[in-house]
Amino acid sequence: MMADVILSVRDLTVEFQTPDGPKRAVDNISFDVHEHEVFGVVGESGSGKSVTMLAVMGLLPQGQARIAGGEVKFRGKSLLDLDTEGLRAIRGKHLSMIFQDPMTSLNPVIKIGSQIAEAIGLHQKGLSRSAIRDRAVELLGSVGVPNPGRRFDQYPHEFSGGMRQRAMIAMAIANDPSILIADEPTTALDVTIQAQVMEVLASVRERTGAAMILITHDLGLVAETADRVAVMYGGRVAELAGVDEIFAEPRHPYTVGLLASLPRLDASSSEQLYSIPGQPPGLRGRPSGCVFNPRCGLKRGRERCETEVPALREVAPAHAAACHFSEEVGDWVREVAAAKREAAL
Ligand code: ADP
Ligand code: MG
């Protein structure tokens, strides 16, 4: 039995204004996140991961981007109908976001502690100043900042990159949000610090039961951390399934390409099984039909891929893919692997 849905996104479409008119960065995407789970979102740069989450948070750049359609619900309540006040009441308290670059959230001219205290004070009105300070120091300690009492009075530039990331996490979790959206939270950090930050997030979730949306291009991290995964490509969801199913039996040619670019444990060399030719589309010149069709090895000249947008449909229990020929993916992978073995002989 799956837990209740906490966040539901339906047919969400986001457009950017460009000199050529409005262009879709996110095109009719739908997914659900359940209470307590880790929902991984993967896909090449430019696939619409961040824009989707900014839309969910009500943080799209004003005047540049707009939600052109769809629905976002938090525990059944529509977020898109909320005014600025209503959104502010939810943001930080129920949903909060951790960015790749901590300086997106931290103000360089305000002491770290004051910024965390402000986040606490925004949603916990009854607390005294000293109670807020104690709570902020406790939060800094809980995310692994040493000497939190002294660090409270320092500015962001006095923190290292890893410590700044922790301070931002402290701010994001200040009000025990029910969903944490972590957008490439460790991409800018070295491997050791990366592991420490992931541990901090895991311990926060263990304590608060928060669900997490983890956006990353690190498939290893997804394999270790996520319960379910959405693979995004060209502003759409290409595939959506449990993490084990995605890795064991991908049902979309794009997912196959992403996975094949991982170093294989069972391979004698670091050679890739398969690599995706070409580049992902930008906002302009998105292909018609299936957005992935110009790069797809399974297309095999079929016209339908160029004319008809494939719906995200269930291709196995709790496993959805947006490919007209998803049923052929397994055989295709085996063929490619066999041809590769033959070529190596
Ligand atoms: P991802 O997070 O998956 O790397 P994004 O969600 O940031 O990708 O971007 C999706 C698409 O929207 C890309 O084509 C990107 O160029 C475009 N985009 C993102 N932000 C802006 C912006 N401020 N102005 C114009 N286009 C943007
Ligand atoms: Mg991004």
Instruction: Name the closest-CA residue to atom 21, ligand 1.
Output: 16
Residue recorded with tokens 């960015």: 99
Distance CA 41, CA 237 (A): 9
Last residue of a domain, one of 148, 176, 204: 176
Q: Which residue has the higher pLDDT, 277 or 17?
A: 17
Predicted confidence (pLDDT) at residue 265 exceeds the cutoff of 70: no
Q: What is the pLDDT of residues 270-297, one digit of tens each?
A: 555 567 888 899 898 899 999 999 999 9
Is residue 20 in a domain?
no
Please identify, among 117, 151, 176, the residue that sits at the C-terminal boundary of a domain: 176
Q: Each residue of 223-252: pLDDT tens digit?
A: 999 999 999 999 999 999 999 999 999 999
Atom nearest to 281 CA in ligand 1 = 14
Does the residue 50 lie in any domain? no
What's the pLDDT score for residue 266?
52
Q: What is the pLDDT of residues 128-180, one digit of tens each?
A: 999 999 999 999 998 889 999 999 999 999 999 889 999 999 999 999 999 99
State if residue 17 touches ligand 1 by the CB under 6 angstroms criterion: no
Average pLDDT of the residues in 72-88:
92
Atom 16 (ligand 1) nearest CA: 46
- pLDDT mean across residues, the chain: 92
Structural domains of the chain, count: 2
Residue nearest to atom 1 of ligand 1 (CA): 46
Q: Collect all residues with Cβ–Cβ distance below 8 Å to 29 and sequence separation of at least 6.
A: 9, 11, 12, 13, 48, 52, 70, 232, 235, 236, 237
Which range of residues forms the domain containing residue 300?
253-344
Which ligand 1 atom sits closest to the C-alpha of 235? Answer: 10
Shortest-distance Cα residue to atom 13 of ligand 1: 46
Is the distance from the beta carbon of residue 279 to the nearest atom of ligand 1 less than 6 Å?
no
Task: Please state the atom number of ligand 1 nearest to the C-alpha of residue 61.
Answer: 23
Protein residue with least CA distance to atom 20, ligand 1: 51
Structure confidence at residue 272 (pLDDT) = 58
Q: Is the CB of 59 under 6 A from ligand 1?
A: no
200-207 average pLDDT score: 91
Report the pLDDT value the prediction gives residue 186, as an integer from 0 to 100.
86
* Contact 216 CB / ligand 1 (< 6 Å): no
Q: Model confidence over 287-323: pLDDT tens digits?
A: 999 999 999 999 999 999 999 999 999 999 999 999 9
Q: Is residue 171 part of a domain?
A: yes
Q: Residue 306: which residues within 8 A CB-CB, separation 6 or more? A: 287, 288, 289, 290, 293
- Residue 202 maps to a domain: no
Position 11 confidence tier, pLDDT thresholds 50, 70, 90:
very high
Atom of ligand 1 nearest to the CA of 54: 6
285 within a domain of the structure (yes/no): yes
Looking at residue 264, its pLDDT comes to 53
Paired tokens of 248 = 């064991």
Give per-residue pLDDT as tens, 211-224. 999 999 889 899 99
Of the three residues 176, 201, 222, the one that is the final residue of a domain is: 176
The pLDDT tens digits of the residues spanning 55-79 come to 999 999 999 999 999 999 999 999 9
Of residues 208 and 104, the one with the higher pLDDT is 208
Query: Ligand 1: does its nearest atom lie under 6 Å from the Cβ of 64?
Result: yes
Q: Which atom of ligand 1 is nearest to the CA of 26?
A: 10
d(CA 344, CA 137): 59
pTM strictly above 0.85: yes
Nearest ligand (C-alpha, residue 48) = 1
- Residue 93 falls within a domain, yes or no? no
Has residue 193 been placed in a domain? no
Indicate whether 269 pLDDT > 60: no
For strands 228-233 and 236-242, give the pairing.
Answer: antiparallel
